[in-house]
Amino acid sequence: MTLDLWHTLVYVTPEDEERYMANQVRIAAGSLARGTLRAGARALEPDALARIFEQEYADAVEAAADGRTVTPAAQIERAAHAAGRSIDEARYFQELRAEVERLDFRRAPGAFELLRGLREDGYRIAVISNTIGEPGAFLRPALRSMGFDPYIERYVFSDEQPWSKPDPRIFLLALSAIDATPDRAVHVGDGWSDIEGALRAGYRGRILFAGLQEYGERYRSLFASSARKIPPADREVTHLAEIGTIVRELVPPRPA
């Protein structure tokens, strides 16, 4: 089976999410402000530099909704080009990594119990995450320290692939990594791209998880604006504890 990451297995409080996304913009605007002005480019105020990056971020969100990846590196590069600046990308990502490391990640209630039970029944598990604001490489250490690695065989982050959810290819890649096929697979996620993508990929089951849908205002305004109407899911649940039974009904475990 495959699962979404943010607001499915892990989350931060809406207040922390809002602060984090504001700090992403602050870090980018600071990098642009420190950059070297290119010949012929005009100087811009800090607020204007922040708006340039925010537009690139919003464009990346829209691209993801179409299944196309615009990596964090491409976002800051495009923002630097639009601002007429040459920037120190290494320093930018160093500051962004530090911001990710300060985040108070929290495990979704019941996450370990769900994953442990499914693994004990022989299910293989991968995570598929659209990583727009930060590289997946910045998330792996946090997930490792939270104890997810014994249960999850493969993390598939969109910034490391040409595609984002809902493109079916990112789902099929994750399934291939755990030697699974769509006809015997279930996906769990909290949004449109999860259910739509699993439908396009031909999954046996699609579960909409609605238990952690308290979002920060910036997150909601950006990602809700790119979302389409969620297609029918096989089930909608508000507690992860409900999912194990549904998975076993949709795709019974193979005999030992």
CA distance 28 to 34: 10
Q: How confident is the model at residue 217 (pLDDT cuts 50, 70, 90)?
A: confident
Q: What is the mean predicted confidence (pLDDT) over 13-20?
A: 95
What Rg value do the Cα atoms of the chain yield, rounded? Answer: 19
Is the pLDDT at 226 greater than 90? The verdict is: no
pLDDT of 79-126, one tens digit each? 999 999 999 999 999 999 999 999 999 999 999 999 999 999 999 999
> What pLDDT does residue 130 have?
97
- Return the number of other C-beta atoms located less than 10 Å from residue 254's C-beta: 9
Q: How confident is the model at residue 213 (pLDDT cuts 50, 70, 90)?
A: confident
Is the pLDDT at 225 greater than 60? The verdict is: no
> What pLDDT does residue 256 have?
66
pLDDT of 115-149, one tens digit each? 999 999 999 999 999 999 999 999 999 999 999 99
Which of 61, 67, 57, 75 is closest to 164 using CA atoms? Answer: 67
**DSSP conformational letter for 134:** S
State the chain's mean pLDDT as an integer.
95
**What is the SS3 assignment for 38?**
coil
Burial 121-158 (b: 16+ CB within 10 A, else e): eebbbbbbbbbbbbbbebbeeebeeeebeebbebbbbb
> What pLDDT does residue 230 have?
86
CA distance 31 to 151: 38
Is the pLDDT at 61 greater than 90? The verdict is: yes
Residue with tokens 């475990």: 253
Q: How confident is the model at residue 12 (pLDDT cuts 50, 70, 90)?
A: very high
> What pLDDT does residue 14 have?
93
Q: What is the mean predicted confidence (pLDDT) over 204-214?
A: 92
- Domains present along the chain, CATH in parentheses: 2-13+104-250 (3.40.50.1000), 15-102 (no CATH)
